Each structure stands twice: as structure tokens, then as C-alpha cells.
Structure 1
């Protein structure tokens, strides 16, 4: 994999990418979540673009707006705007359509992109998330308990005040709480902490969550209009992750016309790192049937 900075609307985005020799290769876009960067795909990328990969894909894995080495503007964190960032990156690389794989926050960006620009999406895979709209309209106590951080991050100024000087302690709490196979993340947690210790990084990630009011309002419009995803959708979640004991695929049925899904055993929230082999197997099977 190579790395490149791509400018979209005056913002610079750090991207990992791989261009196969075969110009007809299908494209794959990998979108990370919180509190991570594109580095979370390190064990998935070789299976899609490495020398031993069964099939070589045109691959791009960007740091989302506000994350990693990408710029951290003070606005534009609604998912519609973040989706346009990804479309701009695709245009710069000459990618017309792609298989999208989104984990956590990246899955929410991918969901919005698939609704707004379905012609650019071949398939959509969402990892360990239910639709944002469903989460904020079900009113369940389990949702409030499991996603307390989301409500905290939405508050103005407060999360910055509470985490100032304690980025490592704060992030490590979630890496410990949300994992089953912690040993697979341990070697990389320091890298994530350093990424979020950059100036503006924590504020930007909180802004991502603060856009929820706008995101849910747009989602509600789509839901009332019965706008559903028509491309094939795969929903995977960790059996020991945030969605444990919930059939996430069933939740997605209200938002899609063609969805399949299942839990991944012995896995927490961080599927790309806790179960990369299983994820790759699921993706290959899904894409082969969607072709």
C-alpha cells in the first residue's frame, strides 16, 4: 500500500491506496471509525491488495475528515458533507463505483453516501452499527447505556474539558471495554492515542458526534419518504461487541431492500482488527454473490 494526500474542497485527506495493474479491477473503499484511523485496516488490506490476495482490488482507505493525518476543519462533520469528501477522493483516483466497507463512524458516512449517491456504490458492508436513525428513535435503555459516550460527545465544550490532558486514559477505556480479543489491538493503541493527541483531533472527533442532530433530521426525511438502500448490504457485528444480543441485520431491514448479516463469534467492536480473517472471508463471499 502507498500513502497519498488528496485535496478535496481545500481540505487535505491522508489516504492509503493501492492501484492494481489490471485497469478493470473492482474498487473497494474502507472507512474507519472512532477512535481510530485508516490504520485499523492494516490486517485487512493485504487480503485485498497484497501479493497473495485472491483478487486484486483498486483500494483506498482514507482518514476521515478530522481524523488521523487528514485536515481538521471546524465545520462540515454532518455525514452528507463527509460523504462528499469521500466522493471527491474517489474522483481524484478515477474511481466511479466501489464496494464500501464502513466500521463504526465510517459506516455512517458510507450509509449516507449510499443514500445520496447510490450509483457510486456497488455494495455496502456495515460493521458493528445499526442505522443512526434507528438508534435515536428506539428509546431503549440498552442503547443509552451502551452508547453513553455518544451523548457526552454531543455536548458543547464539555468533552474537551473532561478529556484535556487525559486523551490516553479516555481512549484506552473504550479499547478495553469494547474488545474481546484485546491482544490484537494492544500493539496499535499507542498509535491511535498519538493520532488523537494532535492539535484539534479530539475536538474534531467530538464534532463528528455533534453533527448527530443534523444527521438524524436528514435520516428522518429519508425514512418518512421510504427511501431505502437498493444495493446489496451486508451487516456484520461482533458477538461480544456493542451490538451483542441484538439482531442488527433485522434492524437494517427497515432501511434496505436487500440485506444479509450475522454476528462474528469471539469478537468485540473492532472487527477489522479482532477478526480480519473472518471479515475477509465474509467480504469475498458477499461480493462474489453480488457480482
Structure 2
């Protein structure tokens, strides 16, 4: 695979105890980790990440299974792509980089890794930014006709191997293009920078990454949901200050009152909605910067 990079960033592969991640880094100051979602990779931050490097050491990994990171095969219980396992990858990465505590901003699947990181390793997260999700257990609990039609991929990708892998593999670029454009407000691929779009398309042609992305959602339907339900039953809450941003035309807007849902999960929450579809960093980068530059400062 080619190695696309965000302007001003260097990319390197960093070996961790369980996986090797491809990581882009730039800047100095307090550490800020940016975590991408599906069907994207770290390139989704290309319109906003350069604005953070003036005040932060910005760390942008491709999550396991995505981009240029390792894509190990799933296990029978879907632990290998659980958000708990992915959050441990980020802890391991911070250890290698000698970072005791970081601010963390996540979108989509990366936001699920981010809040799991804050729950499992509270001392490692100073501030938490969440873009365009509600917690996994709440999504499943609020599943109704409108959300099911919009987020059909939750059940499709979670079907047993190899059904979704074969269907996506028959025409991976068409599937990725459909997914990307259908989740934007404008129903258009024009919002995605060319290098980023090329990287999303390219990773979807790799059978190992198609499998990893499905495994990510199989974990979401099983292990991740169970982990959320166990935390809620135990009364655990996110203690880091949490800032939540979502689009008027995205997924959380279809799940009731998403800000209220987050307030049930965290001790300190501020929330804002913006005029965007699901891919807020590329559709409305100015809204991301307005929300999170002051928050992380």
C-alpha cells in the first residue's frame, strides 16, 4: 500500500505487544490522540489535525484492521476487535511514546474506542472528545425502524463470516463509495479530500481489512455491548470532562436525545450539534475546530 500522510505529519509503524500500528504524528505540547471510524482511517483528520499541532503533540493511529496497521484475523468470541482490546492498543501506544496522559478525540468507531479507554483507563485520559456516536449499548437499546434503516450496516457487517466479506469483496469500491456518500448531508463524495478518499477505497480492496471491519462490528454486537451493559450495571462513569459534537443529519440525532444519553454516562458533559451528516471532520471541519480547540486548550 502507498503511504498517504496528512500535511505536516510524519508516519511510522510502531510495534506494540499485540499488534503493529501505523501512526502519524506532529507538533509539540500536551498529547492529543485522534481516533478514526468506519470505513475510514487516520486520513479522516486531514482537514483539522494541522490546526491542533500548534499547541499539541498530535498522535493519529490507524486502528487495528484499518489503514496501514496490522489486520489480525478475528477470534471466535470477537475479543480481538473489541473496543476494550483497541483501547488497550492506545494505552500500549502511549506507553511506547512515553505519554502518561493524553487528551483523546474520537469519531464513529474511534469514539467507541475513546470512551472505552476513558472507562477502562481513567488516569490515561485528561479530556475526552466524542464525535457523532451514542454509546453502543444505548444504540442497540434504542434500535427502531428509522435507526435500523439508516444504520443497516450494524447488523449487516455483524453477520457471521464470510457472508458480508464476500458481498463487499464483490465490488469493494462501490460499497465504500455508497457508504461514504449516503452518510453525508449532501449525499456526495465531494466533501472528502482526494488523498483521503483514495486511502478509504484502497483499504477496502484488501480481504484482510474487509474481514477486520466486519470483526469490528461483530464485536459491537456482542462483546462491546456486554462491556457497556456491565459498566452501566456497576454504576461506572467517565470522569474525564467530555465534549460531544454531532450532526443534525447524522446517526445520534436519530437515537432520541444523545446529549442526555452521554450525561448518563459521564460526570461532566457539554454538547453541541452542527449542520452536518455523519462525517463531521470533512463535512464541517470548522465546527470540529470551534468545539474542540478551546476544549483541549
1:166 and 2:171 matched: yes
Which residue of structure 2 aligns with residue 58 of structure 1?
Answer: 57
Report the aligned-residue RMSD.
Answer: 1.4
What is the CA-CA distance between 1:4 and the residue it aligns to? Answer: 0.9
Note if contact 1:237-1:271 (Cα within 8 Å) is conserved in structure 2: yes
CA distance in 1, matches of 2:193, 2:45: 15
Contact 2:165 / 2:207 at 8 angstroms: preserved in 1?
no
Whole-Å Cα distance in 2 between the matches of residues 119 and 228 of structure 1?
13
- Conservation of the 8 A alpha-carbon contact between 1:110 and 1:124: yes
Match of 2:116 in 1: 112
Q: Which secondary structure does the structure 1 equivalent of 2:73 belong to?
A: coil
Gaps of 5+ in 1: none
Distance apart, 1:186 and its partner CA:
5.9
Q: Distance in 1 between matches of 2:130 and 2:201?
A: 24
Query: What is the CA-CA distance between 1:238 and the residue it aligns to?
Result: 1.1
C-alpha displacement at 1:139, in angstroms? 3.7
CA distance in 1, matches of 2:18, 2:91: 14
Shift of residue 242, structure 1, vs aligned partner: 2.0
Separation in 2, partners of 1:139, 1:176 = 23
Once residues 33 and 158 of structure 1 are traced to their aligned partners in structure 2, the CA distance between those partners, rounded to angstroms, is: 22
Q: d(CA) in 1 for partners of 2:268 and 2:210?
A: 36
1:70 equivalent to 2:77? Answer no
1:14 alignment partner, SS class: strand
* Alignment partners' CA distance in 2, 1:238 and 1:135: 16
Q: Distance in 2 between matches of 1:124 and 1:5?
A: 25
2:248 alignment counterpart = 239
Alpha-carbon distance in structure 2 between the residues aligned to 1:231 and 1:211: 25
| Alignment coverage as a number of residue pairs | 278
Measure, in 1, the Cα distance between the counterparts of 2:257 and 2:293: 22
TM-score for both structures, normalised by structure 2:
0.90
Distance 2:73 2:17 in 1: 14
SS in 1 for 2:11: strand
Aligned mates of 1:199, 1:6 — CA distance in 2: 23
